[in-house]
Structure 1
Amino acid sequence: MKIYLQQWPTRCLMTCCTIIFLIGSWSLRACSYKSTGEHLAIFDAMWLFIITFTTVGYGDLYPSSYCGRAIATIIGFIGLLSSALLISVLAQKLVLTREEKYVHTFVSNTELAKERQYQAANIVKFAIKVWFLKRQNKAPSIRCIQVQKKLFQSIYHLKEIKKQQRNSTDNCIDLHELVTIQQNTNMQIEETVQHMTEIKCEMNKIQIELNNMILNMNNLQTTLNILLNK
């Protein structure tokens, strides 16, 4: 059931609602009576089901028997449950996919990069203007104060853009990317451990060969000493 809801949520929801509509309408017709003692008409029962299922309740029709009231209560609860399922399906359909998230993040980062360059250029421009105005006038002027205000605003905007770029990068990474990064890291660690093991084996072989060479050198030295003593 969960697999069907995940693969075909709209189809499953429409099928269940149709079946419940037919069964509920027939049950309301069977359990509801008019003042004349006759059963409620099927179309009136369908209308009563709809206004009860959608929790609207106009009041033009209502169940007269306890059985009909019980069925109407059950239909109301089923309507609330179906509304919750419908909202969850719509929310799932409106969620961006990974590819759409990547495209949106890329476009946002491009716009933020352009805005960052613009604000950085403004900072340089306003800083030069402030330096030039202070050089011309020793006392602070209104023009200098206005340029300083623009400089501080550009610095503030640049900090906000940097913060937005960091947040957009963090939001782009989800659980799938984290699992992939962890798997790649584990593979690299295993390869590194394997290389270290191979290097250790090679070092052991080199150590054995060095020991053999030292032993041979000692034997040669002993032989030379014996020959020289003769």
Structure 2
Amino acid sequence: MMDKVVASAAEAVADIGDGKSLAVGGFGMVGVPTVLIDALIAQGATDLETISNNLGVDGFGLGKLLEAGRIRRTIGSYVGNNKEFARQYFAGEIELELAPQGTLAERLRAGGAGIPAFYTPAGVGTLIAEGGLPWRYGPGGEVLVESPAKEVREFDGVQYVLEAALTPDYALVHAWKGDRHGNLVYRSSARNFNPACAAAGRITIAQVEHLVEPGEIDPDAVHTPGIHVQRVVHVPDVEKPVEFRTVKENKA
């Protein structure tokens, strides 16, 4: 079907089952598909594995899915600004695979491009390559699951570690504008991880602030082509809070 618009976020996420893996766009509180996340919470799927830069903040975005106890495992780069995330990790309630931020982005990009793995110098000589990072703790603080060692090879005198691509079952992304064919445009910093997630997911669901008809988006302006997107949901009044507000001191 060329018209990929579905009536509601609830309909868009209805078939996401227990245990599925999800790539979720966003960086901090910017470009997060909050409406789709809220619909997933209401839908009830659990034992999920998420792939995202971070797990949102307490009470927002993926932080809400985390608080509901619905995430079994996560792959990400940043664990700050979320006290519940830290509590669950050290209590052994969630498994965490840390990845350098650039590596995480490239693992998603590679998945979308059909590349199974790639070599990168990031992480060589550290536990990223050598293994031993605590993925899951036990209730007593003991390490139950450690990261495995990865293949390291030398090219032109430089060491590189082999990283596997990511191809999650679903991707949830937020776009500023989208058409009925699934072509997406992101706005400014909200672009972040959204394009990589959209390409990597086997089924990609996009929430869009502005829904337009096919042909209204200049082809040169498209960031994610519709071939990567299976479902589109119109969310004209989506909440977009400011994570850190900085104002100039008034010295008057």
Say which structure, 1 or 2, has more relative contact order (CA 8 Å, 6+ apart). Answer: 2
Say which structure is richer in strand: 2
TM-score (norm 2): 0.18
Mark the structure with the bigger radius of gyration: 1
